Amino acid sequence: MLIDMLKAELDIKNEQIKNLNSRLAETTQALLVAQQTTQAEQLLHSKTMLTGGEPSKQSEEMINDTPPKVGLLERIFGWRK
């Protein structure tokens, strides 16, 4: 009886760990996307500053190809709209 109760609690904890790992993976992916977006924006800005004018078409295309930004709560809690 005690062993069955402990096994049930262990199963619950294992499920919680799986959920947390899944959320961590989603958060990590969102962080990578944010870093890539920031890097692309920095590249665009530096090219604009170097040329002293408008960004090149290639730079604009790079920015437009980035995935949409993910909100803070979506990154933390894995909420989807």
| Per-residue DSSP letter, 79 | -
pLDDT band at 9 (very low <50, low <70, confident <90, very high): very high
- Domain borders along the chain are 2-67
Q: Quote the CA–CA distance of 53 and 65 in Å, as a whole number.
A: 22
User: Per residue in 21-80, pLDDT tens?
Assistant: 999 999 999 999 999 999 988 888 887 777 776 655 555 555 566 666 777 777 777 765
Identity (one letter) of the amino acid at 52? G
| Per-residue DSSP letter, 65 | T
Q: What does the pLDDT read at residue 10?
A: 97
State residue 52 phi and psi, 5-degree precision.
70, 25
**Which pTM does this prediction carry?**
0.52
